[in-house]
Structure 1
């Protein structure tokens, strides 16, 4: 079946921030300053105060998951938190249709990042009706964050759209968006036409074009674990010349070789969890594997 693509609507003119929230149980006593948002990340963990002033989009869900709605959206009733249910439902979760696909502006944050005894909230103003909601924020788990930050999405569009990229990705189960036919995608260079959201799984994806003119979606993953997931085509060509064809292919395949430089190892496996230095060698720790370097070159690994 032909896949559909969900494209975020254009940003509306900026909204004025609302005044101080009067509920003393959750507001900070000190005046908060708007922080510059790090738009290279969607989920900021304990840096959640940087969401202040940002616009958030509630990501829709796969059809099978919609019955579960959303958790952690609250309103204030008689000075107490109550699950947001505009249809007066007694469910502990907000119904899917009540909030999916809506835009909110973060007008305040509450709780200190280093205070582990106090709940943390993003205080939201609805673009749809101006209502104030309170989202119970968990800085430890990205899976509990149901939003796409509009600033992050715009940054991705500026970074990836209308450019050629080398994609370290092979998949025999991709689909041509025009015909619905299966595509066999090999590692290689592709033109990015746009950044969008897959309407089946609602993940941020690149709309890529093959040399033959086929269009398919590539889900954009966090590149922190394996740096060479996607990079500009010109950079891929530069590294291939710099390291040699065989070594470059080994880097792409995550296969280390004795004699690799530290740069080559990081490109293939990412940053180590820990580095232990001694007078004879450096030990890099990757989960259950250990790498050993002398004079900047890989000498052993197990």
Structure 2
């Protein structure tokens, strides 16, 4: 068989060509952060007082070898008047300087190239401050940007509730608007309440006033996902003493949740009844959407808690009826908690009066003796 010899010069040329071809594809990262490293929640980034909305996420990362704040290299391209050229070496150009980044300056985490916060300061000439409570990074490139950034930071520090501070820069879902947005500022009002400014996805900016520690007009976007993950695919028992009267379930009825969604100011729940029939219903949101579910459903079968009660007693509770001889626990399951309780105790006697609106229940030594309406 005839074999054609390839000249040595051609082989050398091909090797060089392959080398340079591959080198242009090398990810500009020489340090790999282990996937099991501690990684914080996403850090909100503000530049000259304006939020940077981006899918590229900034984190605090802590390992035995690498610790600090890490910024995605591509996020720099989204900052005003910053240009990043991703050729080798990477070049970063701002209004005031041009810098290069080599492999030793970068870190690879989750298939994304990062640089440290200190390196960002070095190559851009920017200054900034990471603030722990709102988990936010404030960057500025000018005296005016510094003033705006520090005003935001001071407003956050003055807010009454620490929990409110955690919403800064977060993506939230606004109930009445039925749309998501980002918290771009917060300020303590004259009355001590917190006034949130939210930039919606449609560009509209609204203000929401929180009158308690848990805002009652919005929740985090993450909560809208978490609520389904937490409650879907499990059995619950209806507490009809708390559910709206229009709810189709009966008291202590067992249901299996198949879908849980936040829509407007309501939680939409799809479920399967014990016989297999499908049922859907809504629960109004009262402050915390998770508490709205907890307060309307038992997570364990009440019958397992009180195995000695008769079938007749459980039927009365399911129908939300009361009868003479019931214990306080049985009345609570049937009617819920009273509006008020009056009590008298002596050496051998305990008398209680439970008030439900204009109905008065009378307990004698732990059992329902009578009731009357006024």
The equivalent residue for 1:177 is none
- Once the two structures are superposed, what CA deviation does each residue of 1:230-263 show, in whole Å capped at 9, x if it has no partner? 334x514415734222212222222112222222
Residues 136, 202 of structure 1: CA spacing in aligned structure 2 closer, same or farther, 3 A cutoff?
A: closer
Cα shift at 1:162: 0.9
The equivalent residue for 2:255 is 190
Q: Over aligned residues, Cα RMSD in angstroms?
A: 4.6
Aligned partners of 1:52 and 1:106 also within 8 Å = no
The equivalent residue for 1:243 is 309
Cα shift at 1:155: 5.4
Is the partner of 1:278 in helix, strand or coil? strand
TM-score, length-scaled by structure 1: 0.53
Distance 2:219 2:233 in 1: 22
> If each structure's helix is expressed as a fraction of its own residues, which one has the higher value?
2
260, 269, 288: which one pairs with 2:326?
Answer: 260
The equivalent residue for 1:124 is 197
Matched, 1:208 2:271: yes
The equivalent residue for 1:7 is none
Residues 242, 51 of structure 1: CA spacing in aligned structure 2 closer, same or farther, 3 A cutoff?
A: farther
The equivalent residue for 2:3 is none
Q: How does 1:150-161 map to 2 (within 5 A)?
A: 150=221, 153-154=224-225, 156-161=227-232
Q: Give 5+ residue unaligned stretches, structure 1.
A: 1-11, 36-48, 61-98, 112-116, 175-183
Aligned partners of 2:270 and 2:281 also within 8 Å = yes
Residues 155, 30 of structure 1: CA spacing in aligned structure 2 closer, same or farther, 3 A cutoff?
A: same
The equivalent residue for 1:299 is 369
Distance 1:290 1:155 in 2: 42
- Once the two structures are superposed, what CA deviation does each residue of 1:35-89 show, in whole Å capped at 9, x if it has no partner? 3xxxxxxxxxxxxx587456531236xxxxxxxxxxxxxxxxxxxxxxxxxxxxx
Aligned partners of 1:55 and 1:106 also within 8 Å = no
Distance 1:231 1:250 in 2: 18
Cα shift at 1:276: 1.5
155, 162, 165: which one pairs with 2:233?
Answer: 162
Residues 189, 289 of structure 1: CA spacing in aligned structure 2 closer, same or farther, 3 A cutoff?
A: same
Q: Which gives a bigger RCO, structure 1 or 2 (Cα 8 Å, sep 6+)?
A: 1
Distance 2:206 2:275 in 1: 48
Cα shift at 1:219: 1.6
Q: Give 5+ residue unaligned stretches, structure 2.
A: 1-40, 46-135, 139-148
279, 282, 290: which one pairs with 1:219?
Answer: 282
Cα shift at 1:278: 1.5
The equivalent residue for 2:44 is 15
Aligned partners of 2:342 and 2:353 also within 8 Å = yes
Cα shift at 1:301: 1.7
Aligned partners of 1:193 and 1:209 also within 8 Å = yes
TM-score, length-scaled by structure 2: 0.44
| Paired positions, count | 215
The equivalent residue for 1:57 is 173
Cα shift at 1:283: 1.6
Q: Which has the larger radius of gyration?
A: 2
The equivalent residue for 2:341 is 275
- Once the two structures are superposed, what CA deviation does each residue of 1:152-203 show, in whole Å capped at 9, x if it has no partner? 5455334421112334679xx99xxxxxxxxx977743321221146xx762
Residues 103, 249 of structure 1: CA spacing in aligned structure 2 closer, same or farther, 3 A cutoff?
A: farther
